[in-house]
Amino acid sequence: MDPEILAHYTDHYDESLRLSEVNRLELMRTQEILSRYLPPLPAVVLDVGGGPGAYSSWLAGLGYEVHLIDPVEIHVQQALDRNPQPASARVGDARRLDEADATADAVLLMGPLYHLTERADRLRALEEARRVLRQGGPVFVAAITRFASAIDALYSGAMDDERFREIVDQDLETGVHLNPTDDPRYFTTAYFHHADELVAEVEEAGFRGVEVLAVEGVAWAAADLEERLEDPAKREQVLNLLRRLEREPALMGASPHQLAVARKWSAGFAQRRRRKEQHDGDHQREHRQREGGVEHVAAGQDLLDDVDGVGEGHELG
């Protein structure tokens, strides 16, 4: 790991407080999106780049067998100190996972793409996630919007600092975020994505059915956001609006974080699954046509028994 990134998380910034105290909406929305697509219990989840374990602990509490991997040792210890804690947590690299092929039911990449500035490294992390996933399993890939620094410059007042204006200019031009100052508020070495770029990388790694969802959307523009999140009724108003806007292309870049969701399907598996869906649709139509006492058409038992149950009840079908 880049020593500058390691020093940021070890010496200058407490990541364990970010989701619990600073970015609560990001946590709420990410949990909500994960809940839509995660496989049913029992299931094994790899939380790669899982930081101090905010999502690992939540998933463990739901009954998942969660294994966390993170390159920062203090994050691994913080994850193990949580209650509930993941089944395991260790220092590791998203580009070189120790897990065997096809051993996870779902993989979270909630941080690795933030800090891999080279496209080849990001693809390697995505390919590793695909390797360890079982057929049909979902991957969740978090990214920071290309416009994050520009939004922050206006919202926080950092635009007054000439040094930060230069950082913003580079971010917008290249996506590579560098902090040449000694001010930890200006983050650390990172990569900021365009949404279509994120889709392209996930697809190139071999995943199918890629969706990108805005996590916080434009809620940051609400001056009273924290107060609204404290009130259950007003919080639900905010969340309902974000659900309505989460797939809107025109607003995608205005969301500080985006979450790509996709599945591991081989070409043959995807073809068989489409055949099964077509068969099921035909059967349902015939069933409706024969309502009123006419005998139902028997289901074709020779089609895709191996696909039954994979991804059922989830939106990425």
Query: Could you tell me the CA-to-CA distances from 280 to 267, 273, 301, 310 in Å, in that order?
Result: 20, 10, 11, 15
Over residues 214-251, the pLDDT tens digits come to 999 999 999 899 999 999 999 999 999 999 999 999 99
Where do the structural domains in the chain lie, given as residue ranges?
3-265
DSSP codes joined into one string, 185-228: GG--SEEEE-HHHHHHHHHHTT-EEEEEEESSTTGGG-TTHHHH
Residue 280, pLDDT score = 67
Residue 16 has pLDDT above 60, yes or no: yes
pLDDT in tens, 24-39: 999 999 999 999 999 9
Homologous superfamily (CATH) for 3-265: Vaccinia Virus protein VP39 (3.40.50.150)
Calculate mean pLDDT across residues 280-291: 63
The more confidently predicted of residues 246 and 290 is 246
Mean model confidence pLDDT for the chain: 88
pTM: 0.84
The DSSP call for residue 133 is B
